[in-house]
Structure 1
Amino acid sequence: MEKGSLYSHKRTFYLAISSTCFCILFLSFNPRETIQVSIYLTATTLFGLYIATRYSLEEQIDLLVWMYGIVIILSIIFAVLPPRYGIESGVHLGAFRGIYTHKNIFGRIMIPGAILFLLRAMSAKKDKLILWTAVIVSVIMLVLCRSTTALINYLMMLSTFFIYRTFRWRYEVMVPSILGIATIGGSFLIWLAENAETLLKSVGKDATLSGRTDFWPFLWEMIYKRPQLGYGFGAFWNPNPYGGGPNTYIVRAAGWEVPSAHNGFIELLLTLGIVGFSMYVIGFTINLIKAIRFTRNSYTIESLWPLLFLTYNILANISESGLFEQNSIFWVLYTTICFSFVSLPRKYSRT
């Protein structure tokens, strides 16, 4: 494709996104809240852009490893020193939450850290002992936080890490290997579906995912009422202060103060409707293809990171909301990875 044609397509795509955002702003259920959230979201996106343009992929991973190292140290301090803020009280008594406000938040944020420590530990020429210690400590913390979802997601990410390494094999070896893995994985998923209720009960959970699926049908009802462009950024859960809002119905129907959809895809439909959701899916698919190509054509362990994070971004949003959120480390990492594909260094490519 010629450059002029490429730029024309990009310009059309970004114009469509801008037009959609403009419509969402003025058709929002709560325009004031939408404007405020949009400003925060723009700032979060620009921060991701800055990291992508300022640092190489290897430097980004180094920064994240340092960040997660600080998180581990501070979390231990918060858990050990009085008043032991890092340990949950009340309903989740004894669960580890570190420097975060809830054990599930800690588990969700810590999983990328555990994966990054593993990537760096496998490739580092020095400080291997420290890095492997960080891997072990982060896994122990995931167990101590007692978040079943976080532990399952980590095990799934660990599995995908080894699966994605097969993408670098020769086609005559890679294709049969992937087919074999897909067959085994499909059989396992069928078995899992048939025994889901028993397995969930064994870990103290139920088929409703701790009550999440109970109110999802009510959220779908609200989506059907404004399917095209949704309710606007931040408008659904923060309704117009002068009257009741759409979340009032959800609270009454669910019987408790539901703070979010607890599903990133449903949340995105509530926020941006089918139009915005479709644009996100298109953008995500494009970046996923780029990540697969990058993994296939590179030779370093670290170059698996973009594909691993995009995979985790899907897993994490099955039972939690955070696919498209302001002031979120996950949106920063997503935008950083997306913008990084524009200028990834040649040293990651095979020669």
Structure 2
Amino acid sequence: MALTVADAPVARTLADAKAAWRQSAAYRSRPKFVEQLVGMVALTVLTTGLPTEWFVVIDGNLYDAVNVGGPLVIVVFTGLIGTLLVFSMKRPAVMFYLLVCELLLLAFSALILFSTMWSVDFATSLRRSVALTLVTMMGIYFVARYSLEQLINRLSIVFFVAMVLNVVWVNALPQYGTAGEDFLGITTNRNTLGQQAVLGCLVMVFAMASRNHRILATIGFFGSAYLVFGTNSMTSLGSFVLLGGLLVVFSTFRARKQLFGAVVVSEIAAGLFGLLLATANLVFLTELLGRDITLTGRTILWLDLLEPISEKPVLGHGWEAFWGGWGSPAHEIWLQNTWFPPTAHNAPLEYLLALGGVGLALWAVMMVRGFWRSIHYLRDRPGLAGLFPIAIFSYAFLYSVTEAGVVRRGIDWMLVVVALVETKRFMDRNRSTLDGSKLAVARRENTRGKLAR
């Protein structure tokens, strides 16, 4: 459509704005094609692993089940993250600020690294703590270099690829992709696939807000939901349903004064349901879900873990050193629990084993503060992306009840880091603590007053 004379000033203003943007430092330092490509590959490897990990058959060998992966994974992943960190030096001041802005995350990461000094398995703790630190740095990198909407769009592509791979493995390569009637996909167990698929559904919901990714996100959502149901994992199915309900509550009360109360009450209700599911105190609930009274042995496992926790209550056994094979402290647990649990299947217990009371306290305070900031972010940040941090914290909370949590070398921990750092930066930018809404209202009223004059 041709521009009229009246439109000329507007067109001139837009042209000037575009010219000014192209001359800005932010435009010159934006991610170019090579950096974007490396970022996509890094996200994909973090989500799906390398192809060498897609053809693993767990035949009851516990050590293989616990230690899937190898030197090639470490080398490739380190190279990718190192390359991204080099790119991040285009804006070193921003990167440094994001590194130190969330002090509890910094302290928690430092404790994990230093836990190698008192670990019962130095090599395992060193290797896995360094890998986790790289994932943490990766999360900070994406906050520094991309907007939240840009990251969500890239994640939708990554999870779509993961969904397609899992569906192909389940249907075309059942010797690798299934175990009986349970879906495994390219992962090694149904719980891991279920957790990945639930997160994929969550990402696809947010990606639907983008017109360019709507079709892909819709297909990805239904494909990921198919995988969730196919795993026959009640933990994943319960998390899928609860997260959907929580998103409805968050969206409904987003612009209301009752937002804080609604969020807190809904999270407590979801947590209580998860706790009931985990402890199986109600017989009718276990019958409804088709589970035994000990939830596949989890409650017995938790009682057995109290003794090794009491042996090192302050700083723990070292990061991921407890579950290191038959020569590790876990061998006593495996003798008592013949289903060979590879983790504590409960995040607080897992962190008590690895980092003791100090680590558990740091993790708990860090997550509560992040969750509290995400409520302000939900209220003050426009667009569907404003719900993303609180959705990620809710996902992490639900998977901390009957699984070992999300603090691991995985895409879910990277997204928790993104949520922690992004909400902290948002609060700092708006000079907002717990009075963020009052400040926002004051600014709007001030603007209206100037316009009226």
Q: TM-score, normalised by structure 1?
A: 0.82
Query: C-alpha separation between the residues in 2 aligned to 1:298 and 1:103?
Result: 36
| 1:17 to partner: Cα distance | 5.3
Q: 1:277 aligns with which of 360, 370, 378?
A: 360
Match of 2:59 in 1: none
Query: C-alpha separation between the residues in 2 aligned to 1:129 and 1:210?
Result: 39
Stretches of structure 2 lacking an aligned partner (at least 5 in a row):
1-99, 431-436, 445-453
Secondary structure of the residue that 1:305 maps to in structure 2? helix
Q: Deviations over 1:272-292 (max 9, x none)?
A: 000111111121122111111
Matching of residue 293 in structure 1 with residue 380 in structure 2: no
CA gap 1:71/1:205 in 2 versus in 1, 3 angstroms: same
Amino acid at match of 2:252: T
Amino acid at match of 1:53: A
Matching of residue 68 in structure 1 with residue 181 in structure 2: no
Match of 1:334 in 2: 416
Quote the RMSD (CA, aligned, Å): 3.6
Q: Which moved more, 1:147-156 or 1:176-185?
A: 176-185
Amino acid at match of 2:368: T
Amino acid at match of 1:168: R
Q: Give yes or no for contact 1:72–1:138 (8 Å, CA) kept in 2.
A: yes
Match of 2:188 in 1: 101
Matching of residue 48 in structure 1 with residue 131 in structure 2: no
Match of 1:4 in 2: none
CA gap 1:95/1:282 in 2 versus in 1, 3 angstroms: same
Amino acid at match of 1:204: G
CA gap 1:342/1:85 in 2 versus in 1, 3 angstroms: farther
Q: 1:84 aligns with which of 174, 182, 188?
A: 174
Stretches of structure 1 lacking an aligned partner (at least 5 in a row):
1-8
CA gap 1:58/1:27 in 2 versus in 1, 3 angstroms: same
Q: Give yes or no for contact 2:254–2:378 (8 Å, CA) kept in 1.
A: yes
Q: Which moved more, 1:45-54 or 1:30-39?
A: 30-39
Match of 2:395 in 1: 312
Superposition map of 1:1-351 within 5 A:
20=111, 24-81=115-172, 83-85=173-175, 87-89=177-179, 93-121=180-208, 123-126=209-212, 128-171=214-257, 174=259, 196-238=282-324, 244-325=327-408, 327-344=409-426
Q: Deviations over 1:48-103 (max 9, x none)?
A: 2222212110111111111111112222222232x3346423xxx12222222222
Q: Give yes or no for contact 2:373–2:424 (8 Å, CA) kept in 1.
A: no
Secondary structure of the residue that 2:396 maps to in structure 1? helix
Q: Give yes or no for contact 1:166–1:177 (8 Å, CA) kept in 2.
A: no
Secondary structure of the residue that 2:314 maps to in structure 1? coil
CA gap 1:253/1:186 in 2 versus in 1, 3 angstroms: closer
Q: Deviations over 1:141-190 (max 9, x none)?
A: 2112211111111000000001112342232x657867997999899899
| 1:119 to partner: Cα distance | 2.3
Query: C-alpha separation between the residues in 2 aligned to 1:333 and 1:185?
Result: 21
Q: Which moved more, 1:316-325 or 1:18-27?
A: 18-27
Give aligned-pair identity as a percent.
25
Instruction: Choose between structure 1 and 2 for higher RCO, CA contacts under 8 A separated by at least 6 residues.
Output: 1
Amino acid at match of 2:184: R
Q: Which moved more, 1:269-278 or 1:283-292?
A: 283-292
Q: State the aligned residue count.
A: 334
Amino acid at match of 1:283: M
| 1:24 to partner: Cα distance | 2.9
| 1:22 to partner: Cα distance | 7.0
CA gap 1:189/1:141 in 2 versus in 1, 3 angstroms: closer
CA gap 1:187/1:39 in 2 versus in 1, 3 angstroms: closer
Match of 2:71 in 1: none
Q: Give yes or no for contact 2:275–2:401 (8 Å, CA) kept in 1.
A: no
Match of 1:6 in 2: none
CA gap 1:23/1:79 in 2 versus in 1, 3 angstroms: closer
Match of 2:447 in 1: none
| 1:211 to partner: Cα distance | 1.0
CA gap 1:186/1:18 in 2 versus in 1, 3 angstroms: closer
Q: Give yes or no for contact 2:316–2:356 (8 Å, CA) kept in 1.
A: yes
Query: C-alpha separation between the residues in 2 aligned to 1:54 and 1:211?
Result: 44
